[in-house]
A = this chain, B = another copy of it.
Amino acid sequence: MIANMTEDQLLVLVIKYIREAKRHSLQELLDELHPYDVAIIYRSLPVKHHHKFLTFLNPDQIADLIEELETEYQVEILQKLGVEESSKVMDLMENDELADLLNELSVERIQEFLDVMKKEDSIKIRSLMSYPAETAGGLMTNEFIWIHANQTVRQAVDKLKEYASFSENIYYLYVINEAKKLVGVVSYRDLLIADLNEVIEDIMFTRTVAVKVTDDQEQVANIIERYDFIAVPVVDDEDTLLGIITVDDALDVVIREANEDIEKLSASGNIDFSTKAWTASIRRLPWLILLLLIGLVSGSIMNYFEATLAQVVALVFFMPMIAGMTGNTGTQSLAVVVRGISQNTIDKKVVTNLILREFRVSLIIGVTCGSLITLIAFLWIGDPSLGMVVGVSLFCTLIIGTLAGTIIPLILHRFGVDPAVASGPLITTLNDIFSLLIYFGIATAFLTNLT
């Protein structure tokens, strides 16, 4: 019956159960749902029902629910539950999710929760919280199942049953030696088709790919993507197995990184369809005001070249086109660099090749567009020297614009500057200034010779 109900029908049923205090029916219903669906119900549920809803759930269900919710809901639930009840729930949460949640709370709050948790769990959590968020360590869970190489398939299956609560989301068993070093990996399917008396060593895969705990999260996601892994083990410098990172976390990283890249390109800040107008404005305004001020620099450049402008008014007609084209080519290069930085390892050779490639590109497009505009300008205004000025200027500004769009983000990346600084609008605005300087500079130099 439940299998075919819509979200709205489910919500109505849940409210009915809450009103009629049918705790057991509610639990049964929720057991049939994915945590993602339970989270949708929780968000849609009128706030007045939240507390009662939670009291009807067992700690296991609350743990699953919390893992699917946004921070504000998570904190709300912890507050409604109180420290003692919360700690029970926390014991059941995946350790990486829990560490992320705790990182959102104040130091005193964290201490309060850790104090009432099981000793062994709180030690694990503390160790997870000690890794930087954007590294393999910050992403991994230490809920995985390991086994010794000399144990049998039967022992492995027994261990799986013992750790049934978290063997659910894991698809490999990690094999370690006496020194706790990772020596191999066995999939559940290998165990299923093996004989129960076989020794793990004989069926395991030995060329394991692992990531270092200090590796950047993008690197980790790239490895999972390349090898089509479901999970990748995380080790320290001595190859000791510390945890695993699962493909769903890699998927989240990829989405987050792509969104960040797009924010970089547009300086739009972290805004989605559900962001309130006021919040969205506050996030965009600092950039816009900065760009406004930088934009005025363009104005003062023109002020400086007023004499040249007065001499040949037609110069001004080509100004928006030249500034715009420099911005466009810069944006194109920037997009290639920003995306590439996320997906490639950046070393000296890569950087050199990239800059040379973009330089060649700028020559090709510079010659093409420069010749085209020389012709157009000549036909339009009828003055060959103006045509030359516009053409040569466009050639030069396209080269400068392309290189600015390539080199500025690379330099920022090199110095670890928050990449949002290398935004598309910033590059465009800088290129505006470069292009005006070049255009009026060349025009002034030519015109004094020619007119």
A→B interface (CB under 8 Å): 2-3, 32-34, 36-37, 157, 160-161, 164, 167-171, 187-189, 191-193, 206-209, 224-228, 230, 246-248, 250-252, 254-255, 258-259, 261-263, 265-269, 271-273, 275-278, 280-281, 284-285, 287-289, 291-292, 295-296, 298-300, 302-303, 306, 309-310, 313, 316-321, 323-325, 327-329, 331-336, 338-340, 343-344, 350, 353-354, 357-358, 360-361, 364-365, 368-369, 372-373, 376, 424-425, 428-429, 432, 436
Contacts and interface: CB of A to CB of B under 8 A. Distances in A.
Given A281-B365, A287-B332, 14 more contacts: A160-B189, A168-B189, A188-B188, A191-B192, A254-B255, A255-B343, A262-B262, A277-B364, A280-B336, A298-B324, A299-B318, A299-B320, A302-B316, A424-B424
Contacts of A339: 259, 262, 272
B277 A425 contact: no
Contacts of A258: 254-255, 258, 261-262
Contacts of A285: 364-365, 368-369
Nearest to A157: B192
Nearest to A248: B228
Contacts of A372: 289, 292
Contacts of A266: 265, 331-332, 334-336, 424
Question: What 4 A-B pairs are tightest by C-beta distance, nearest first?
Answer: A258-B258, A266-B335, A295-B321, A299-B317
Given A189-B168, A207-B3, A425-B328, A321 B296 contact: yes
Contacts of A313: 306, 309-310
Contacts of A206: 2-3, 32
8 contacts: A2-B206, A34-B227, A170-B189, A225-B252, A262-B338, A295-B325, A327-B428, A328-B428
B227 A361 contact: no
Nearest to A334: B266
A288 B247 contact: no
Contact of A251 (B251, B296, B321): B251
B188 A164 contact: no
B369 A192 contact: no
A188 B171 contact: yes
Given A277-B357, A288-B369, A271 B336 contact: yes
A246 to B, nearest CB: 8
Contact of A192 (B160, B265, B325, B332): B160
B340 A273 contact: yes
Contact of A171 (B225, B230, B252): B230
A227 to B, nearest CB: 5
A161 B328 contact: no
Given A230-B230, A251-B250, A272 B336 contact: yes
Contacts of A228: 36, 169, 246, 248
